Chains A and B, each alone.
Chain A
Amino acid sequence: MTGLPLIALVGNPNAGKSALFNALTGARQKLGNYPGVTVERKAGRFSLSDGRPIELVDLPGTYSLNPASPDEQVTRDVILGKQAGERLPDALVVVVDASNLDNHLRFALELIALGLPTIVALNMVDLATRDGLELDANILSRELGVPVISTVAVRKRGLDHLRSELESMLDGGAGRVRPTGEQPDFEGLRKEARRIARAAVVRETPSRRMTAAVDRVLLHPVAGFLILLALLFVMFQAVFSWAAAPADLLEGWVTALGETITATLPPGVVHDFLLQGVIGGVGAVVVFLPQILILFFFILMLEATGYMARAAFLMDALMARVGLSGRAFIPLLSSFACAVPGIMATRTISDPKDRLTTILIAPLMTCSARLPVYGLIIAAFIPARSVGPGIGLQGLVLFLLYVSGIVGAMIAAWALRLTVTKGQSGGFLMEMPKYQWPRPQDIAIGLWQRAVIFLKRAGTIILLTNIILWVLASFPQAPAGVRQSEYSIAGRIAGGIHLLVEPIGFNRDISLALLPSMAAREVAVSAIATVYAIDAGDDEDALNRTLGERLQGRWSLATALAFLAWFVFAPQCISTIAVTRRETNGWKWPMFMMGYLFVLAYAAAGITYWAAVAAGLG
């Protein structure tokens, strides 16, 4: 803990706290956790104009000091100085949305009454102006008794003014309202907020209501729903078609790197290890970076534009059928990128059973780590044919895999709601933010962070698992005429697993990949790549064939399809299990989750295999 003055950003959700936080602290941010609770602590540093350093925390948004979710509880406790691991802030910056003053001022009044030194940031004045609303910050300041600064967080407007005001406040003086001791009641605060908001309006022309006009289309019961489906469909098509060129480029680099190693190192164990264990394995995963970034691009865009809340609205009726609320749609859609942030996003769901059900089905949403697996199998076994204008067969199959995950999740939710998470559903109440054009910088930063996380995974967990696998698969050396992948230690372990999965059509290659890919799903691809590289040995022809071509020679279509079906359901990801344990405070639910998902995966792969064999694809 530092001895710097601590300033907390507080306010309603969507007031622009995080935007202001980013604008003030830039890259100097640190993510952490509050002890005992799973709420993220987001802190950063910035300097006042005289160079004095300040620590700033971005608190979760809340509508009042009456918490309805674990996130909101933390905000309350920090402000009251009751939160473990946080000192009482030296000052508050209350962020209010200028275009929704009535509502935000009520909470601001509640906060000001606490008696901490306070500054109000009258944020989003640009949007208020767009809506035909002109406000006088001086009147507001007089009425509230604390300094009020107009800001546009995303354009960094008003920040200098905010800094200098903070400076004089910390030097003593302005901004503190003597607490009256009595906590004003809700009604009283509301009326007072209204009165002040009215007084501060200089001019109000009927707003142009761009958001309402767009909503007429996007929230239309039929058109809106079709647009949502179309958006998701385009997203999955794009993952394949846009990624082709950059993926080829990456593939070229990986191959070139391998050739350099062959050219510079003498043949032997080191050479084989680097070529087969490192380049062969990790390289096979890294080439999927473009696809993963395209997927994240869509999800970041949907969030930043304000569309995500609309998707929740459209989905609520359907989600209600299986005992969930539309709110669950947001963490579930994020889980398409990765279940870990998706499961963490369930914290905004206040009903505990709604939340638990959402956590349990989140791994069924097809996360980006499955893309390398799907991508490899689809590219190898599904012809790149067009089945209609703008619809490729490969993209269609990918779409169907996603749909299977969604349908599976809905059925699972329904069953869970009737059994282990039985009870009254929590309902759906949510604010719909205004539409916004996302700022390219924000999207770029988001993509950059994702790329770094993915490459770190490739460089750590995937690399490590792969090295272990390479060792186990390389020794002991097979005598001539026997396949190395069957003779080695790994091959013998795989032989045992094979007995279990043979009925659902899995061959020995798959059996070998299943165990290491418990660490992370992508490892399935790198593991298969490594094993084939070892089997190929110094055989030039075999080495020159792509992984896909080698698969075609060794797997039947029925096996490939069963493998895909397995990955729709199987809970193969250590990080997901760990985050579930953290969010549910124990091992009970992560164990339950693994159990039911493995059963589903086995059944799905089996049914797919037997159906495909019956259809003559075996």
Chain B
Amino acid sequence: MFGTGLLKGLGVTLKHALETFEDDRESVPDRYKGSLDLGNNRKVIQQPIDQEGLLTIQYPEEKRLLPERFRYIPMLIWDSEKQEDRCTACGICAKVCPPQCIWIVRDSDENGKPVTRCSEFYIDAAVCMSCSFCVEFCPFDAIKMNHDYELAVYDRYPQLVYDMEELTVPLEYYAALWPTQYEEEQARRKEEEEQKRKQEEEKAARAAARQAAAAQKAEAGAGAPKRSAAELQALAKERAAQRQAQAQGQTADGGGDDDAAAAKRARMEDLKRRAQERARQRKLESGNGSS
């Protein structure tokens, strides 16, 4: 009969309408289940995969919970344990970046010799295509993807050209955004460090053995040895032990030495504050610039 198809279709819309209506009358509609209430009507919503009814999210009051792997604009990691930037200015990220929006200035010491540290690091966020290649290929875990996506400003330049200060975040911030990956990474880094330490020890031991051999030769040839082979070996052992103690001391520092911990916290807070300050400044500037 003519019209049955239409009626069938209307049945579907009616079903949708009723379902949504019913869902909305519940104390917690489907779309708010498992969401985080921030008060003031502000929510962070995690849409369950089996959600029915209304799917719309009332941005900006309501926001989606971002998955860990969400990528937007890169950030640079300040290693708050070691109190240093992780970046070594190796330049790999600038090389792999497809739109070439990373600009790095490698620092140099007072003699003009390049050092493994950058003095400037810019990312043009207006050009960045959020591909995350820089993160994938950085050998030092120094650059990661930030989740902060509300970056609108009135002017592109200079507001969207982020400098090092704006890009830098403390390690803890990264750990909070990317918990799973952070854990894996920490484990891997520990292991690598352990291996490196072992290698160095072996190297030292080998060097000591070589020295000892040379010393023996020298002894056989002419003059008195400065130190005997046994002495040298003992020395190497002692040094290794010292290094180990030092390393342990450093890790223990984090919890043990109150002063150091406080200093670290202060430094982190300072970093955060400065980043916020810059962001505010940027928004202000861009506001003035256009009005």
Q: A and B: real partners?
A: no
What residues of chain A have their CB less than 8 Å away from a CB belonging to chain B? none
What residues of chain B have their CB less than 8 Å away from a CB belonging to chain A? none
